[in-house]
Amino acid sequence: MECNIDICLKTGDFMIKIIFSDMDGTLLDENGELPEEFPEVMAELKKRGVIFAPSSGRQYFALLEQMGEYKNEFMFLAENGAFNIYKENEICSSVLDMDLVHRVIAEADKHHFFAILCGKKNAYVRKEWEPYIHEARRFFTHSIFVDSFDDVDDEFVKIAFADCEGLDAEHNLMPVLTQFEPEQQVSLSSNYWVDILNPGINKGWAIKHIQERFGFKPEECAAFGDYMNDYEMMQSVHYSYAMENAYPELKKVARFTTKSNVEHGVIYQIKEFIKQGLI
């Protein structure tokens, strides 16, 4: 784990100073699109000195695919908090041990699991998985085919596995991959995706690091999420919101709920914050 830069953040004298939001099932609608009011609301946050922080299992480059115009404004928590960027500079990251990576991949190959190795420079998919590349590129827009992971020159922060056929990662992938705990952290990130990261690395870890680094108190932070990879994020802020469509266990740990992603709940709640004078 490392921090590379010193960044000065300027925020207004408001109660909520930074808003973390998951993407899929949270900020994005049922078609994977940003709400129509997104630019208007982001402009208002900027005017008030509030930072918006997309916080996703997606890679940094995939976040830029939809939000590139904000790359010098937003704080990006990518790869479920394992790789975090602000104004095109790395804040902090957590790099996987390659011996463990090889062991996990070898076991996954026995079960024919679709694996993506997520690096700081790119995401890597073996050529044998080409039939499923359309699924990979929904979340890893910056990805290339390789013959073998052994020859890749990059630092890896996450391994993502997809159940592209059964679409039931909780029952098909998790029982196999959890054998690597506690050496690796295994997280269910959707109905058909499972992520492996270093132990203790998650969106909550990234948020706590940001809080310590830049002086944000939990009471000055809000967060929105819908799935279990948002669990620790909910625990790291005071204004923790589970979407109406959220996984039941996430609703138990969040302090509040808001409208579903289909109803643009994140935008709705930010506008409520403004009405209530919280930002």
Going from the N-terminus, what domains does the chain have, and what CATH number goes with each? 18-93+202-276 (3.40.50.1000), 98-197 (3.30.1240.10)
Q: Which two tokens stand for residue 201?
A: 């690395």
Answer whether 0.75 is exceeded by the pTM: yes
CB 216 within 8 A of CB 232: no
Closest CA to 94 of 174, 164, 32, 157: 157
What distance, in Å, lies between the first and last C-alpha atoms of the chain? 32
Find residue 153's DSSP bridge partners. Answer: none
For 208, the enclosing helix (H) or strand (E) is helix 203-214
* Mean predicted lDDT score pLDDT of the chain: 90
Confidence bin at 197 (pLDDT 50/70/90): very high
Give the mean model confidence (pLDDT) for residues 200-205.
95
Q: CA–CA distance from 59 to each of 65, 120, 121, 232, 262 (Å)?
A: 10, 9, 10, 19, 23
- pLDDT of 142 over the 60 cut: yes
Examine the pLDDT at 268 and tell me if it is beyond 50: yes
**pLDDT at res. 111:** 87
Residue 124 tokens read as: 């890597």
Measuring CA to CA, which residue among 194, 4, 227 is closest to residue 95?
A: 4
pLDDT above 70 (res 125): yes
Contact 213, 84 (CB under 8 A): no
Cα-based angle 154, 157, 158 (whole degrees, multiple of 5) = 115
Q: Could you tell me which residue, 77 or 143, shows the higher pLDDT? A: 77
